[in-house]
Structure 1
Amino acid sequence: MRFFPQAFQWTVLGLFAYTFLLIGCGQAMLSDEYLANRSKKEFVKMKKKETVSSNKSHQQMIQEIGERIAGVAQVDLPGTDWEFVVFQKGDANAFAMPGGKVGVNSGLIDLAAGNEDEIAAVMGHEIAHVALRHSNKRMSQAIGLGVGGVILDVALRNQSSTDRMLGRAAYGVGSTVGVALPFSRENEMEADHRGLYYSAMAGYDPRGAISFWRKMEAKNKGKRMPQFLSTHPNPGNRIQFLEEKMDHALGLYRQAKQARGERSKG
Protein backbone atom coordinates (compact mmCIF):
# COMPACT_ATOMS: atom_id res chain seq x y z
CA MET A 1 0.00 0.00 0.00
CA ARG A 2 1.33 3.42 -0.93
CA PHE A 3 1.47 6.13 1.76
CA PHE A 4 1.65 9.76 0.69
CA PRO A 5 3.70 12.46 2.47
CA GLN A 6 1.67 14.43 4.98
CA ALA A 7 2.23 17.67 3.04
CA PHE A 8 0.80 15.98 -0.08
CA GLN A 9 -2.27 14.80 1.85
CA TRP A 10 -2.88 18.25 3.32
CA THR A 11 -2.58 19.83 -0.13
CA VAL A 12 -5.33 17.64 -1.57
CA LEU A 13 -7.50 18.04 1.55
CA GLY A 14 -7.02 21.80 1.38
CA LEU A 15 -8.22 21.83 -2.22
CA PHE A 16 -11.34 19.86 -1.21
CA ALA A 17 -12.01 22.42 1.51
CA TYR A 18 -11.60 25.22 -1.03
CA THR A 19 -13.98 23.46 -3.41
CA PHE A 20 -16.68 23.03 -0.76
CA LEU A 21 -16.35 26.64 0.40
CA LEU A 22 -16.37 28.15 -3.08
CA ILE A 23 -18.91 25.86 -4.72
CA GLY A 24 -20.87 24.23 -1.93
CA CYS A 25 -22.62 27.47 -1.09
CA GLY A 26 -24.04 27.48 -4.64
CA GLN A 27 -23.17 31.09 -5.44
CA ALA A 28 -23.73 32.30 -9.01
CA MET A 29 -20.71 34.12 -10.38
CA LEU A 30 -21.85 35.06 -13.87
CA SER A 31 -24.14 37.84 -15.10
CA ASP A 32 -27.75 36.74 -15.69
CA GLU A 33 -27.93 39.13 -18.64
CA TYR A 34 -24.81 37.61 -20.19
CA LEU A 35 -26.19 34.07 -19.85
CA ALA A 36 -29.61 35.07 -21.22
CA ASN A 37 -28.02 36.64 -24.31
CA ARG A 38 -25.77 33.64 -24.81
CA SER A 39 -28.71 31.24 -24.44
CA LYS A 40 -30.77 33.19 -26.95
CA LYS A 41 -28.03 32.81 -29.56
CA GLU A 42 -27.57 29.11 -28.80
CA PHE A 43 -31.32 28.48 -29.00
CA VAL A 44 -31.44 30.08 -32.46
CA LYS A 45 -28.64 27.74 -33.57
CA MET A 46 -30.42 24.75 -32.03
CA LYS A 47 -33.65 25.48 -33.92
CA LYS A 48 -31.66 25.48 -37.17
CA LYS A 49 -29.67 22.35 -36.36
CA GLU A 50 -32.42 20.21 -34.81
CA THR A 51 -35.78 19.32 -36.35
CA VAL A 52 -38.59 21.44 -34.95
CA SER A 53 -41.84 19.47 -34.72
CA SER A 54 -44.42 20.16 -37.40
CA ASN A 55 -47.21 18.90 -35.13
CA LYS A 56 -49.23 22.06 -34.57
CA SER A 57 -51.39 20.57 -31.81
CA HIS A 58 -48.27 19.62 -29.85
CA GLN A 59 -46.77 23.06 -30.27
CA GLN A 60 -50.03 24.75 -29.27
CA MET A 61 -50.32 22.55 -26.17
CA ILE A 62 -46.73 23.22 -25.08
CA GLN A 63 -47.18 26.94 -25.70
CA GLU A 64 -50.33 27.08 -23.56
CA ILE A 65 -48.85 25.03 -20.72
CA GLY A 66 -45.65 27.04 -20.83
CA GLU A 67 -47.41 30.40 -20.76
CA ARG A 68 -49.61 29.41 -17.83
CA ILE A 69 -46.69 28.17 -15.74
CA ALA A 70 -44.46 31.07 -16.75
CA GLY A 71 -47.25 33.41 -15.66
CA VAL A 72 -47.04 31.91 -12.18
CA ALA A 73 -43.23 31.95 -12.18
CA GLN A 74 -43.11 35.55 -13.38
CA VAL A 75 -42.99 36.77 -9.78
CA ASP A 76 -39.57 35.10 -9.54
CA LEU A 77 -38.51 35.96 -13.11
CA PRO A 78 -39.90 39.41 -14.01
CA GLY A 79 -39.38 40.47 -17.62
CA THR A 80 -38.29 37.04 -18.88
CA ASP A 81 -38.65 36.54 -22.64
CA TRP A 82 -40.13 33.03 -22.68
CA GLU A 83 -40.08 30.82 -25.76
CA PHE A 84 -41.41 27.25 -25.97
CA VAL A 85 -40.46 24.90 -28.80
CA VAL A 86 -41.22 21.23 -29.52
CA PHE A 87 -38.32 19.31 -31.08
CA GLN A 88 -38.90 16.15 -33.09
CA LYS A 89 -36.75 13.85 -31.00
CA GLY A 90 -37.63 10.42 -29.65
CA ASP A 91 -36.06 10.59 -26.19
CA ALA A 92 -38.40 11.65 -23.39
CA ASN A 93 -36.64 14.84 -22.39
CA ALA A 94 -37.06 18.58 -21.92
CA PHE A 95 -34.71 21.42 -21.05
CA ALA A 96 -34.69 25.09 -20.13
CA MET A 97 -31.98 27.68 -20.70
CA PRO A 98 -31.27 30.97 -18.90
CA GLY A 99 -33.46 33.73 -20.28
CA GLY A 100 -36.52 31.48 -20.65
CA LYS A 101 -35.76 29.30 -23.70
CA VAL A 102 -37.57 25.97 -23.19
CA GLY A 103 -37.44 22.89 -25.40
CA VAL A 104 -39.68 19.81 -25.14
CA ASN A 105 -38.99 16.64 -27.12
CA SER A 106 -41.85 14.94 -28.93
CA GLY A 107 -40.78 11.71 -27.20
CA LEU A 108 -41.75 13.20 -23.84
CA ILE A 109 -45.20 14.12 -25.15
CA ASP A 110 -45.57 10.57 -26.48
CA LEU A 111 -44.52 9.02 -23.15
CA ALA A 112 -47.05 11.20 -21.34
CA ALA A 113 -49.65 10.19 -23.96
CA GLY A 114 -50.56 13.86 -24.28
CA ASN A 115 -51.53 14.10 -20.59
CA GLU A 116 -51.26 17.83 -19.91
CA ASP A 117 -50.87 17.40 -16.15
CA GLU A 118 -47.84 15.16 -16.67
CA ILE A 119 -46.30 17.46 -19.27
CA ALA A 120 -46.95 20.46 -17.01
CA ALA A 121 -45.07 18.70 -14.20
CA VAL A 122 -41.98 18.42 -16.39
CA MET A 123 -42.28 21.96 -17.73
CA GLY A 124 -42.79 23.31 -14.21
CA HIS A 125 -39.58 21.53 -13.22
CA GLU A 126 -37.66 23.06 -16.14
CA ILE A 127 -39.02 26.56 -15.54
CA ALA A 128 -38.05 26.19 -11.88
CA HIS A 129 -34.45 25.52 -12.96
CA VAL A 130 -34.46 28.93 -14.64
CA ALA A 131 -36.08 30.64 -11.66
CA LEU A 132 -33.51 29.12 -9.30
CA ARG A 133 -30.61 30.15 -11.60
CA HIS A 134 -29.27 26.61 -11.65
CA SER A 135 -27.48 26.97 -15.00
CA ASN A 136 -25.60 29.99 -13.67
CA LYS A 137 -24.65 28.15 -10.49
CA ARG A 138 -23.51 25.03 -12.37
CA MET A 139 -21.36 27.05 -14.75
CA SER A 140 -19.90 28.90 -11.77
CA GLN A 141 -19.23 25.53 -10.16
CA ALA A 142 -17.37 24.34 -13.25
CA ILE A 143 -15.22 27.49 -13.15
CA GLY A 144 -14.49 26.89 -9.47
CA LEU A 145 -13.50 23.27 -10.09
CA GLY A 146 -11.22 24.37 -12.91
CA VAL A 147 -9.54 26.96 -10.71
CA GLY A 148 -9.09 24.32 -8.01
CA GLY A 149 -7.34 22.05 -10.51
CA VAL A 150 -4.94 24.83 -11.52
CA ILE A 151 -4.14 25.59 -7.86
CA LEU A 152 -3.51 21.88 -7.25
CA ASP A 153 -1.05 21.68 -10.16
CA VAL A 154 0.86 24.67 -8.80
CA ALA A 155 0.86 23.29 -5.25
CA LEU A 156 2.21 19.91 -6.41
CA ARG A 157 4.82 21.27 -8.82
CA ASN A 158 7.70 19.95 -6.65
CA GLN A 159 6.19 16.49 -6.21
CA SER A 160 7.07 13.49 -8.36
CA SER A 161 5.14 12.93 -11.60
CA THR A 162 3.42 9.92 -10.01
CA ASP A 163 2.26 11.97 -7.01
CA ARG A 164 1.04 14.77 -9.28
CA MET A 165 -0.95 12.26 -11.33
CA LEU A 166 -2.44 10.66 -8.22
CA GLY A 167 -3.23 14.07 -6.76
CA ARG A 168 -5.11 15.11 -9.90
CA ALA A 169 -6.99 11.80 -9.91
CA ALA A 170 -7.96 12.15 -6.23
CA TYR A 171 -9.12 15.72 -6.76
CA GLY A 172 -11.07 14.78 -9.91
CA VAL A 173 -12.90 11.86 -8.33
CA GLY A 174 -13.46 13.64 -5.01
CA SER A 175 -14.75 16.87 -6.54
CA THR A 176 -17.08 14.98 -8.90
CA VAL A 177 -18.53 12.43 -6.47
CA GLY A 178 -18.28 14.66 -3.39
CA VAL A 179 -19.35 18.02 -4.83
CA ALA A 180 -20.52 18.17 -8.45
CA LEU A 181 -22.93 15.21 -8.48
CA PRO A 182 -24.54 15.92 -5.07
CA PHE A 183 -24.90 19.59 -6.05
CA SER A 184 -26.59 18.55 -9.30
CA ARG A 185 -28.98 16.19 -7.48
CA GLU A 186 -29.77 18.96 -5.00
CA ASN A 187 -30.62 21.24 -7.93
CA GLU A 188 -32.96 18.59 -9.30
CA MET A 189 -34.77 18.22 -5.99
CA GLU A 190 -35.13 22.00 -5.67
CA ALA A 191 -36.58 22.16 -9.19
CA ASP A 192 -38.93 19.25 -8.41
CA HIS A 193 -40.16 21.07 -5.31
CA ARG A 194 -40.75 24.49 -6.83
CA GLY A 195 -41.86 23.09 -10.18
CA LEU A 196 -44.54 21.00 -8.47
CA TYR A 197 -45.97 24.15 -6.92
CA TYR A 198 -45.65 26.15 -10.15
CA SER A 199 -47.68 23.61 -12.13
CA ALA A 200 -50.28 23.34 -9.34
CA MET A 201 -50.65 27.13 -9.11
CA ALA A 202 -51.09 27.21 -12.89
CA GLY A 203 -54.08 24.89 -12.55
CA TYR A 204 -52.49 21.55 -13.46
CA ASP A 205 -53.04 18.52 -11.24
CA PRO A 206 -49.71 17.97 -9.42
CA ARG A 207 -50.40 14.25 -9.21
CA GLY A 208 -49.33 14.21 -12.84
CA ALA A 209 -45.74 14.42 -11.58
CA ILE A 210 -46.13 11.08 -9.79
CA SER A 211 -47.71 9.28 -12.75
CA PHE A 212 -45.09 10.68 -15.14
CA TRP A 213 -42.12 9.59 -13.03
CA ARG A 214 -43.64 6.14 -12.63
CA LYS A 215 -43.71 5.91 -16.42
CA MET A 216 -40.08 7.04 -16.54
CA GLU A 217 -39.16 4.49 -13.89
CA ALA A 218 -40.81 1.70 -15.89
CA LYS A 219 -39.19 2.91 -19.13
CA ASN A 220 -35.70 2.96 -17.62
CA LYS A 221 -36.03 -0.13 -15.45
CA GLY A 222 -32.73 -1.97 -15.23
CA LYS A 223 -30.77 0.93 -16.76
CA ARG A 224 -30.18 3.01 -13.65
CA MET A 225 -26.76 3.64 -12.19
CA PRO A 226 -26.26 4.11 -8.42
CA GLN A 227 -27.64 7.48 -7.30
CA PHE A 228 -24.28 8.68 -5.93
CA LEU A 229 -22.86 8.38 -9.47
CA SER A 230 -25.78 10.13 -11.11
CA THR A 231 -26.68 13.77 -11.70
CA HIS A 232 -30.36 12.99 -10.96
CA PRO A 233 -32.12 11.36 -8.01
CA ASN A 234 -33.34 7.88 -8.86
CA PRO A 235 -37.05 7.82 -9.81
CA GLY A 236 -38.09 5.97 -6.63
CA ASN A 237 -36.57 8.61 -4.36
CA ARG A 238 -37.96 11.34 -6.58
CA ILE A 239 -41.48 9.96 -6.35
CA GLN A 240 -41.22 9.66 -2.57
CA PHE A 241 -40.06 13.27 -2.33
CA LEU A 242 -42.92 14.51 -4.51
CA GLU A 243 -45.48 12.51 -2.52
CA GLU A 244 -44.24 14.18 0.67
CA LYS A 245 -45.02 17.60 -0.88
CA MET A 246 -48.29 16.56 -2.49
CA ASP A 247 -50.80 17.70 0.15
CA HIS A 248 -49.64 21.31 -0.09
CA ALA A 249 -49.45 21.10 -3.89
CA LEU A 250 -53.03 19.79 -4.07
CA GLY A 251 -54.18 22.70 -1.91
CA LEU A 252 -52.56 25.15 -4.35
CA TYR A 253 -54.10 23.29 -7.28
CA ARG A 254 -57.62 23.48 -5.86
CA GLN A 255 -57.22 27.18 -5.13
CA ALA A 256 -56.03 27.74 -8.70
CA LYS A 257 -58.94 25.79 -10.19
CA GLN A 258 -61.39 27.74 -8.07
CA ALA A 259 -59.85 31.02 -9.14
CA ARG A 260 -60.05 29.97 -12.77
CA GLY A 261 -63.69 28.95 -12.32
CA GLU A 262 -62.95 25.34 -13.26
CA ARG A 263 -63.99 22.13 -11.58
CA SER A 264 -61.23 20.36 -9.68
CA LYS A 265 -60.55 16.67 -10.26
CA GLY A 266 -60.74 16.08 -6.52
Structure 2
Amino acid sequence: MKTLKTLMIAAALIVMAASAASAGRTREQILQEAQAEMERVCSSLIPYMERPGNVTKLEVIDKDDINAFADNEGRVAVYMGMMNFFQSEDELAAVCGHELAHLSREHIKKSMKTGILATVVSAAVGGTAGDIVGNLIYTKDSRKHEREADRNGLYYAWQAGFDPYASVALWEGMSRLRDTMALEKYLSTHPVHEERIENFHVLLYRMCNDGVVTRYCEEIMADPKLAQMYHEFESR
Protein backbone atom coordinates (compact mmCIF):
# COMPACT_ATOMS: atom_id res chain seq x y z
CA MET A 1 0.00 0.00 0.00
CA LYS A 2 2.83 2.36 0.90
CA THR A 3 4.53 1.73 -2.44
CA LEU A 4 1.26 2.16 -4.30
CA LYS A 5 0.56 5.53 -2.67
CA THR A 6 4.08 6.71 -3.43
CA LEU A 7 3.70 5.69 -7.05
CA MET A 8 0.35 7.45 -7.25
CA ILE A 9 1.86 10.73 -6.08
CA ALA A 10 4.85 10.33 -8.38
CA ALA A 11 2.53 9.60 -11.29
CA ALA A 12 0.46 12.68 -10.52
CA LEU A 13 3.57 14.86 -10.54
CA ILE A 14 4.68 13.33 -13.84
CA VAL A 15 1.26 14.00 -15.37
CA MET A 16 1.41 17.63 -14.27
CA ALA A 17 4.91 18.00 -15.65
CA ALA A 18 3.84 16.44 -18.94
CA SER A 19 0.81 18.70 -19.10
CA ALA A 20 3.00 21.74 -18.61
CA ALA A 21 5.41 20.57 -21.27
CA SER A 22 2.57 19.99 -23.73
CA ALA A 23 1.46 23.55 -23.14
CA GLY A 24 4.88 24.71 -24.31
CA ARG A 25 5.97 26.15 -20.97
CA THR A 26 9.53 25.82 -19.83
CA ARG A 27 10.55 24.84 -16.31
CA GLU A 28 11.68 28.43 -15.74
CA GLN A 29 8.27 29.77 -16.79
CA ILE A 30 6.50 27.32 -14.48
CA LEU A 31 8.75 28.38 -11.60
CA GLN A 32 8.10 32.07 -12.30
CA GLU A 33 4.34 31.47 -12.31
CA ALA A 34 4.56 29.52 -9.06
CA GLN A 35 6.66 32.29 -7.51
CA ALA A 36 4.11 34.92 -8.53
CA GLU A 37 1.23 32.87 -7.10
CA MET A 38 3.08 32.19 -3.87
CA GLU A 39 3.98 35.86 -3.40
CA ARG A 40 0.42 36.98 -4.16
CA VAL A 41 -1.21 34.55 -1.74
CA CYS A 42 1.35 34.70 1.07
CA SER A 43 1.79 38.48 0.99
CA SER A 44 -1.97 38.92 1.45
CA LEU A 45 -1.64 37.28 4.89
CA ILE A 46 1.19 39.47 6.16
CA PRO A 47 -0.98 42.47 7.23
CA TYR A 48 -2.71 40.24 9.79
CA MET A 49 0.52 39.16 11.48
CA GLU A 50 1.53 40.45 14.90
CA ARG A 51 5.02 41.24 13.58
CA PRO A 52 4.78 41.70 9.79
CA GLY A 53 8.25 43.23 9.71
CA ASN A 54 9.75 39.84 10.54
CA VAL A 55 9.14 38.67 6.97
CA THR A 56 12.01 39.40 4.59
CA LYS A 57 11.45 37.07 1.65
CA LEU A 58 8.86 34.78 0.05
CA GLU A 59 10.38 32.15 -2.19
CA VAL A 60 9.51 29.07 -4.23
CA ILE A 61 12.39 26.60 -4.33
CA ASP A 62 12.85 24.67 -7.57
CA LYS A 63 12.82 21.20 -6.04
CA ASP A 64 10.16 18.50 -6.29
CA ASP A 65 10.12 17.78 -2.55
CA ILE A 66 6.80 18.30 -0.77
CA ASN A 67 8.14 20.69 1.83
CA ALA A 68 7.98 24.24 3.22
CA PHE A 69 9.75 26.12 5.99
CA ALA A 70 10.55 29.47 7.58
CA ASP A 71 14.09 30.36 8.64
CA ASN A 72 15.83 32.67 11.08
CA GLU A 73 16.48 35.22 8.33
CA GLY A 74 12.76 35.87 7.89
CA ARG A 75 12.32 33.80 4.75
CA VAL A 76 9.30 31.63 4.01
CA ALA A 77 10.03 29.01 1.38
CA VAL A 78 7.73 26.56 -0.39
CA TYR A 79 9.10 23.84 -2.65
CA MET A 80 7.73 23.25 -6.15
CA GLY A 81 6.67 19.76 -5.08
CA MET A 82 4.48 21.32 -2.41
CA MET A 83 3.08 23.85 -4.88
CA ASN A 84 2.04 20.94 -7.11
CA PHE A 85 0.58 19.07 -4.13
CA PHE A 86 -1.90 21.84 -3.28
CA GLN A 87 -5.47 21.36 -4.47
CA SER A 88 -6.26 25.08 -4.22
CA GLU A 89 -4.74 28.43 -3.33
CA ASP A 90 -6.63 28.14 -0.04
CA GLU A 91 -4.31 25.25 0.86
CA LEU A 92 -1.31 27.34 -0.17
CA ALA A 93 -2.60 30.06 2.16
CA ALA A 94 -2.89 27.50 4.97
CA VAL A 95 0.77 26.50 4.66
CA CYS A 96 1.92 30.09 4.23
CA GLY A 97 -0.05 31.09 7.30
CA HIS A 98 1.57 28.37 9.37
CA GLU A 99 5.11 29.35 8.36
CA LEU A 100 4.40 33.07 8.73
CA ALA A 101 3.10 32.38 12.23
CA HIS A 102 6.44 30.83 13.16
CA LEU A 103 8.08 34.12 12.16
CA SER A 104 5.45 36.34 13.75
CA ARG A 105 5.55 34.46 17.06
CA GLU A 106 9.36 34.39 16.86
CA HIS A 107 9.46 30.66 17.50
CA ILE A 108 12.83 30.30 15.83
CA LYS A 109 14.50 32.88 18.05
CA LYS A 110 12.87 31.39 21.13
CA SER A 111 14.01 27.92 20.15
CA MET A 112 17.56 29.09 19.67
CA LYS A 113 17.56 30.78 23.08
CA THR A 114 16.10 27.84 24.95
CA GLY A 115 18.23 25.23 23.25
CA ILE A 116 15.37 23.45 21.51
CA LEU A 117 17.34 23.48 18.26
CA ALA A 118 19.42 20.40 17.69
CA THR A 119 22.84 20.24 16.10
CA VAL A 120 21.94 18.18 13.08
CA VAL A 121 24.12 19.66 10.36
CA SER A 122 25.72 16.26 9.91
CA ALA A 123 22.32 14.80 9.09
CA ALA A 124 21.91 17.36 6.32
CA VAL A 125 25.28 16.74 4.67
CA GLY A 126 24.76 16.61 0.96
CA GLY A 127 21.63 18.74 1.13
CA THR A 128 21.12 22.33 0.09
CA ALA A 129 21.42 25.30 2.41
CA GLY A 130 17.63 25.31 2.62
CA ASP A 131 17.60 21.68 3.74
CA ILE A 132 20.14 22.42 6.46
CA VAL A 133 18.29 25.50 7.69
CA GLY A 134 15.00 23.62 7.68
CA ASN A 135 16.48 20.79 9.72
CA LEU A 136 18.08 23.14 12.22
CA ILE A 137 14.87 25.00 12.78
CA TYR A 138 12.30 22.28 13.04
CA THR A 139 13.85 19.00 14.07
CA LYS A 140 12.97 19.55 17.74
CA ASP A 141 10.45 22.35 17.45
CA SER A 142 8.11 22.18 20.40
CA ARG A 143 4.52 21.06 20.11
CA LYS A 144 3.54 24.34 21.71
CA HIS A 145 5.08 26.27 18.82
CA GLU A 146 3.33 24.04 16.31
CA ARG A 147 -0.04 24.60 18.00
CA GLU A 148 0.51 28.37 18.01
CA ALA A 149 1.51 28.30 14.35
CA ASP A 150 -1.59 26.28 13.49
CA ARG A 151 -3.88 28.69 15.35
CA ASN A 152 -2.31 31.94 14.21
CA GLY A 153 -1.72 30.74 10.67
CA LEU A 154 -5.37 29.77 10.37
CA TYR A 155 -6.35 33.23 11.59
CA TYR A 156 -4.11 35.02 9.05
CA ALA A 157 -5.46 33.03 6.11
CA TRP A 158 -9.05 33.35 7.34
CA GLN A 159 -8.80 37.12 7.75
CA ALA A 160 -7.23 37.41 4.30
CA GLY A 161 -10.37 35.84 2.81
CA PHE A 162 -9.28 32.25 2.25
CA ASP A 163 -11.44 29.26 3.08
CA PRO A 164 -10.61 28.07 6.63
CA TYR A 165 -11.81 24.56 5.80
CA ALA A 166 -8.73 24.25 3.57
CA SER A 167 -6.50 23.81 6.61
CA VAL A 168 -8.57 20.83 7.73
CA ALA A 169 -8.66 19.36 4.21
CA LEU A 170 -4.91 19.79 3.79
CA TRP A 171 -3.99 18.03 7.02
CA GLU A 172 -6.54 15.28 6.48
CA GLY A 173 -5.04 14.70 3.04
CA MET A 174 -1.56 14.55 4.51
CA SER A 175 -2.78 12.15 7.19
CA ARG A 176 -4.03 9.74 4.54
CA LEU A 177 -0.65 9.83 2.80
CA ARG A 178 1.61 10.17 5.83
CA ASP A 179 3.31 6.82 5.25
CA THR A 180 4.54 7.77 1.80
CA MET A 181 8.10 8.80 1.03
CA ALA A 182 6.79 11.86 -0.82
CA LEU A 183 5.64 13.48 2.42
CA GLU A 184 8.40 12.15 4.65
CA LYS A 185 10.46 15.36 4.79
CA TYR A 186 7.58 17.74 5.51
CA LEU A 187 5.90 15.51 8.08
CA SER A 188 9.19 14.93 9.89
CA THR A 189 9.05 18.59 10.91
CA HIS A 190 5.26 19.06 10.91
CA PRO A 191 3.87 15.85 12.42
CA VAL A 192 0.29 15.01 11.53
CA HIS A 193 -1.86 13.08 13.99
CA GLU A 194 -5.50 12.80 15.01
CA GLU A 195 -5.08 15.36 17.79
CA ARG A 196 -3.80 17.97 15.35
CA ILE A 197 -6.69 17.43 12.96
CA GLU A 198 -9.16 17.57 15.84
CA ASN A 199 -7.61 20.84 17.00
CA PHE A 200 -8.24 22.38 13.59
CA HIS A 201 -11.90 21.40 13.74
CA VAL A 202 -12.17 22.87 17.23
CA LEU A 203 -10.38 26.06 16.15
CA LEU A 204 -12.90 26.63 13.36
CA TYR A 205 -15.79 26.57 15.81
CA ARG A 206 -14.00 28.41 18.62
CA MET A 207 -12.88 31.35 16.48
CA CYS A 208 -16.44 31.87 15.29
CA ASN A 209 -17.93 31.32 18.74
CA ASP A 210 -15.52 33.85 20.27
CA GLY A 211 -16.16 36.41 17.53
CA VAL A 212 -12.54 36.41 16.39
CA VAL A 213 -13.71 36.05 12.78
CA THR A 214 -17.05 36.32 11.02
CA ARG A 215 -16.63 35.09 7.43
CA TYR A 216 -17.89 31.48 6.93
CA CYS A 217 -19.13 31.44 10.52
CA GLU A 218 -22.81 30.96 9.76
CA GLU A 219 -22.00 27.68 8.04
CA ILE A 220 -19.47 26.63 10.69
CA MET A 221 -21.74 27.36 13.66
CA ALA A 222 -24.54 25.40 12.01
CA ASP A 223 -22.36 22.29 11.59
CA PRO A 224 -23.47 19.78 14.27
CA LYS A 225 -20.25 17.76 13.93
CA LEU A 226 -18.08 20.79 14.66
CA ALA A 227 -20.33 21.84 17.53
CA GLN A 228 -20.10 18.39 19.10
CA MET A 229 -16.31 18.23 18.71
CA TYR A 230 -15.94 21.69 20.23
CA HIS A 231 -18.14 21.01 23.26
CA GLU A 232 -16.54 17.62 23.89
CA PHE A 233 -13.10 19.21 23.68
CA GLU A 234 -14.05 22.01 26.06
CA SER A 235 -15.50 19.61 28.61
CA ARG A 236 -12.28 17.61 29.00
Normalising by structure 2, we get a TM-score of 0.60
In structure 2, what is the equivalent of residue 131 of structure 1?
A: 104
Match of 2:42 among 38, 51, 66: 66
Aligned equivalents of 1:222 and 1:127: distance in 2? 26
For 2:177, the equivalent position in structure 1 comes to 219
Checking the alignment, whether the CA contact within 8 Å between 1:62 and 1:86 is kept in structure 2 is yes
Q: Deviations over 1:86-136 (max 9, x none)?
A: 1122222111123531110111111113x1111101100000000111111
Of structures 1 and 2, the one with the larger relative CO (CA 8 A, separation 6+) is 1
> In the alignment, which of 82, 91, 101 is matched to residue 56 of structure 2?
82
Counterpart contact for 2:116–2:142, Cα < 8 Å: no
**Aligned with 1:124: secondary structure?**
helix
Residue 61 of structure 1 aligns with an amino acid whose one-letter code is: E
Match of 1:260 in 2: none
Q: In the aligned structure 2, how far is the partner of 1:133 from the partner of 1:117?
A: 24
The residue that corresponds to 2:195 in the other structure is 237
Distance 1:99 1:111, change over 3 A: same
Which of 89, 99, 107 is matched with 2:81 structurally? 107
Task: Supply the AA of the counterpart residue of 1:55.
Answer: L
Q: Distance in 1 between matches of 2:117 and 2:35?
A: 39
RMSD over aligned Cα atoms:
3.2
Give deviations 1:114-164, integer Å, cap 9, x for gaps: x11111011000000001111111111228999xxxxxxxxxxxxxxxxxx
1:122 aligned onto 2:95: yes
Of 204, 209, 222, 2:162 maps to 204
Equivalent of 1:95 in 49, 60, 69: 69
Written as runs of structure 1 = structure 2, the 5 A alignment for 1:173-192 is: 181=140, 184-192=142-150
Cα 1:246–1:88 change in 2 (3 A) is same
Q: TM-score, normalised by structure 1?
A: 0.54
How many percent identity over aligned positions?
32
Stretches (4+) displaced over 4 A: 51-54, 143-146, 222-225, 230-233, 248-251
SS of 2:112's equivalent?
helix
Q: What one-letter code is carried by the residue in structure 2 that aligns with 1:245?
A: L
Larger radius of gyration: 1
Asked whether the equivalents of residues 55 and 74 of structure 2 are also in contact (C-alpha less than 8 Å), the reply is: yes
Quick one: distance in 1 between partners of 2:170 and 2:69? Answer: 16
Unaligned runs of 5+ in 1: 1-50, 147-179, 257-266
